[in-house]
C-alpha cells in the first residue's frame, strides 16, 4: 500500500525536476537563440529584453503543451509530415526575423504609431513593443507568436520522448508542463543577459546597427540551413 503511494509521488517529483532542467537547456538551442536575439537586438533595456524572453517562453509553453497534451492523451505520435511542416515554419520565421532585423538596422525605423482596441487589445507605441492585452495581462505579441511556433515544432519530439520513458499520464503531463516553464525561465534569464550589453551598445548608433545586421544575417542563414533538410524530405 505504502509502495503504491510512494512510487507515483517519486515518479512525479523526478519527472518534474528533470523537465524543468531540460526546459532551461532547451532554451539554449541555436534556433531559439537566433530567434530571441533578433527580437531583443533593438532593445536598450535589460528588463525589457527579459520581458520579451519571458513572452517567448510563454508562447513556447502554450504551443508545446496544447499539442503535446493532445498527443499524450491520445497516446499518439505526431505524423512525420506534420512535424516537418512545423520545422519549415520555424525556418521561415527565422528568415523573416533575420530580414526584419537587417531592414530595421538599415532604415532605423521610428517607433510605430499607437493603435488601440478594447478588452482584447493589440497596440504599439513609442518605446514599447507591440503587445497583446488579455484582461490585466500584457504580453509582447511578436515573441509570443514566435515562441508558439517553436513550441509546435518541438511538441512532436518531446511527446515521443515522454511516451517512451514515463509510464503514467500524470507524469507525462507534469513533465511537459515543467519543461515548458523551464524554457520560459531559461529564455527570460538569457534575454536579460543579452539585453544589458545591447543597452550599452545602443548608445553608439553605428555599433548598434552593426550588431543588428550581424544578428539578422546569422538568423537568416540559420533559417535557410534549418529549413533545407525539411523541405527536401517533404519534396
Residue pair 82/156 in contact by the 8 Å Cβ criterion:
yes
Domain residue extents for the chain: 2-21+33-108+142-234
Q: Give the relative orientation of helices 169-201 and 46-74 as an angle to the nearest 10 degrees.
A: 160
Contacts of 186 (CB under 8 A, 6+ apart): 23, 24, 25, 26, 27, 28, 57
Cα separation of 10 and 13, whole Å?
Answer: 5
pLDDT for the residue 11: 52
Cα separation of 56 and 59, whole Å?
Answer: 5
SS3 track for 74-125 = HCCCCCHHHHHHHHHHHHHHHHHHHHHHHHHHHHCCCCCCCCCCCCCEEEEE
Cα separation of 62 and 181, whole Å?
Answer: 10
pLDDT for the residue 217: 93
Cα separation of 97 and 131, whole Å?
Answer: 17
Cα separation of 123 and 112, whole Å?
Answer: 10
Query: pLDDT digit of tens for each residue in the chain (235 aa)?
Result: 444 434 444 454 555 556 667 777 777 788 888 888 887 777 767 778 888 888 888 888 888 888 888 888 888 888 888 989 999 999 999 999 999 889 888 876 544 444 444 444 444 444 444 544 444 444 467 888 888 888 888 888 888 877 777 778 888 888 888 888 888 888 888 887 877 776 666 667 777 788 888 889 999 999 999 899 888 888 8
Per the confidence metrics, is the pTM higher than 0.85?
Answer: no
Please choose, from the candidates 42, 49, 46, 53, the residue with its C-alpha nearest in 3D space to the C-alpha of residue 106: 42
pLDDT for the residue 49: 80
pLDDT for the residue 16: 52
Cell, residue 33: 537563440
Amino acid at each position: 500500500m505504502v509502495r503504491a503511494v510512494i512510487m507515483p509521488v517519486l515518479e512525479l517529483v523526478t519527472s518534474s525536476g528533470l523537465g524543468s532542467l531540460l526546459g532551461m537547456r532547451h532554451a539554449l538551442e541555436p534556433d531559439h537563440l537566433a530567434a530571441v536575439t533578433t527580437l531583443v537586438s533593438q532593445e536598450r533595456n535589460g528588463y525589457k529584453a527579459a520581458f520579451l524572453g519571458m513572452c517567448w517562453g510563454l508562447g513556447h509553453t502554450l504551443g508545446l503543451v496544447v499539442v503535446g497534451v493532445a498527443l499524450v492523451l491520445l497516446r499518439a505520435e505526431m505524423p512525420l509530415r506534420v512535424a516537418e511542416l512545423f520545422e519549415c515554419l520555424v525556418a521561415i520565421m527565422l528568415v523573416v526575423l533575420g530580414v526584419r532585423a537587417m531592414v530595421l538596422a538599415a532604415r532605423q525605423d521610428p517607433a510605430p504609431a499607437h493603435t488601440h482596441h478594447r478588452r482584447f487589445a493589440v497596440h504599439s507605441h513609442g518605446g514599447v513593443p507591440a503587445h497583446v492585452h488579455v484582461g490585466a495581462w500584457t504580453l509582447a505579441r511578436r515573441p509570443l507568436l514566435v515562441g508558439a511556433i517553436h513550441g509546435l515544432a518541438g511538441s512532436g519530439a518531446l511527446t515521443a520522448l515522454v511516451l517512451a520513458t514515463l509510464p503514467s499520464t500524470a507524469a507525462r503531463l507534469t513533465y511537459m508542463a515543467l519543461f515548458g516553464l523551464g524554457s520560459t525561465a531559461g529564455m527570460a534569464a538569457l534575454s536579460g543577459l543579452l539585453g544589458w550589453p545591447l543597452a550599452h551598445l545602443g548608445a553608439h548608433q553605428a555599433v548598434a546597427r552593426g550588431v543588428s545586421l550581424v544578428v539578422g544575417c546569422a538568423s537568416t542563414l540559420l533559417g535557410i540551413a534549418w529549413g533545407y533538410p525539411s523541405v527536401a524530405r517533404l519534396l
